[in-house]
Amino acid sequence: MDKDTHSAGLTGQVLHDEIVPARAPWLHRMKTGETLRVVDLEGNQAVDFLLYATADDAERYSAQDTIAAQANIFLRTGSKLLSNEGRPMMTITATSVDYHDTIGGACSCESNSLRYGHHTKAQHSCIDNFLEANLRDGRGKRDMVSNVNFFMNVPVEPDGALGIVDGISAPGLTVDLRAEMDVTVVVSNCPQINNPCNGFNPTPVRMIVTA
């Protein structure tokens, strides 16, 4: 068997290793100290990502607290993903991509109608993935907040122009996250086909959890 380059550099025991199909949701509970590696298998695949504190899921990832604390909109190695209580939920311990997004939010059938037109109504979306995963875990629409978009590129120009543009990821690039508390990870492997966030072609991603 070929050497597994996707797990290079990971230490400890592999607790979970799963390919999340293109367009699919994923939910996984992690204990403090465990590390999640997300692998962009085919390149430029947006991975929409939310966190809930397992012990009290009204505490959840807060893009705004995270941005304010690091005074930067981009997530890089060392970025702490903070909760709405200002507590670290996960830390980005390594990434082979320059930066990741947390201002662009998740696509939805409803926002697609604004961005592209009402003809997109029947297309699948990240919000529907987030809802499906959350609904099976006791949460609902009120629990949806601004998310992380790993492997997605959303620059802000000097005049304020903001948008999802061509990605800066590539096949096999990764991001590693260490859990700083017991967390429930909820992911949408983005199904968007109307902008460059997935290179107009949603693809699978791999999730490796170690400890």
Report CA-CA distances (Å) from 18 to 21, 34, 39, 208.
9, 16, 10, 7
State which of positions 70-89 bind other proteins (CB under 8 A).
71-74, 84-87
Contact residue for other proteins among 44, 54, 62, 169 (CB under 8 A):
62
Q: Is 120 in the site for other proteins (CB under 8 A)?
A: no
CB of 84 to other proteins, least distance (A): 7
Contact residue for other proteins among 7, 91, 96, 146 (CB under 8 A):
146
Contacts of residue 107, defined as CB under 8 A and 6 or more positions apart, other chains included, come to 48, 125, 126, 127, 190, 191, 192, 197
- How many residues contact other proteins, by CB under 8 A? 49
Q: Is 181 in the site for other proteins (CB under 8 A)?
A: no
Q: Is 175 in the site for other proteins (CB under 8 A)?
A: no
| HSE-up (13 A, CA, CB side) for residue 207 | 24
Q: Is 105 in the site for other proteins (CB under 8 A)?
A: yes
DSSP type of residue 119:
G
- What is the DSSP secondary-structure string of 34-68? -EEEEEESSS---EEEEEEETT-TTSBB-HHHHHH
For residue 71, give both structure tokens.
């005074």
For residue 153, give both structure tokens.
């590129």
CB of 184 to other proteins, least distance (A): 14
Q: Is 135 in the site for other proteins (CB under 8 A)?
A: no
- Judged by the rule CB under 8 A, the positions of this chain that interact with other proteins are 58, 62-65, 67-69, 71-74, 84-87, 99, 103-106, 108-115, 117-118, 127, 140-147, 154-156, 158, 160-164
